[in-house]
A and B are shown apart, each in its own frame.
Chain A
Amino acid sequence: GNSVTQMEGPVTLSEEAFLTINCTYTATGYPSLFWYVQYPGEGLQLLLKATKADDKGSNKGFEATYRKETTSFHLEKGSVQVSDSAVYFCALRRDNQGGKLIFGQGTELSVKP
């Protein structure tokens, strides 16, 4: 079946450090891939997405590249800020299955000044 696996958290970094949150997926066909972020006290927000192999999604300094050969969609940011502290969720969507998202377990990121 379809599934998403993320690296476990919590991840604690100092401000301006480099961030990588690993995400791998299992799916038949060609899913769309997403990163959602949940800031404290808020709902999930779409951070970035990629809909086909080799696409790079980017937003707010975050990037992720759809790698079909390694079935991965790792999230990266070159210099994190305290305001990036949140829970990050990787997800996939099979576009011929009505749009439901399949999420990983989430990775909590804490950035210290």
Chain B
Amino acid sequence: EAGVTQFPSHSVIEKGQTVTLRCDPISGHDNLYWYRRVMGKEIKFLLHFVKESKQDESGMPNNRFLAERTGGTYSTLKVQPAELEDSGVYFCASSRSGTGTDTQYFGPGTRLTVL
């Protein structure tokens, strides 16, 4: 069974540009989460999808961030326009059931650098 995959693994962009991160969850997992770790600090929750619906987006930092999960499969996280403080590692995780209490499986992360 394939694990959670994320693309790209690294992205370096200029301030003001747009970047789109992609996450492919484990097949059959209804729950998909986005997290971010900035500059060696704690990993922070961004949002949670159940299938294609946003269950909780309380961690999204501002309206420059847009997450989608069309069709309830893969998800994208777009940052537009990117700012310096958006630099960090973006993790995606997925879990099976709709209750959200199953183990979350994480992808390797996308390292975003905004110059």
Contact = CB atoms under 8 A, between A and B. Distances in A.
B42 A104 contact: yes
Given A43-B107, A43-B109, A45-B106, A100 B48 contact: yes
Contacts of A95: 99-101
Most A CB within 10 A of own CB, among B42, B45, B105:
B42
Contacts, number: 66
B106 A99 contact: no
Contacts of A53: none
Interface string A39-79: 00111111001000000000000000000000000000000
Contacts of A43: 3-4, 91, 106-109
B14 interface: no
A interface, size bucket: 20 to 34
12 contacts: A43-B4, A43-B106, A44-B91, A93-B101, A98-B48, A99-B31, A99-B101, A100-B48, A100-B56, A101-B93, A104-B42, A105-B42
Interface of B: 3-4, 31, 33, 35, 37, 40-45, 48, 55-56, 59, 91, 93, 95, 99-109
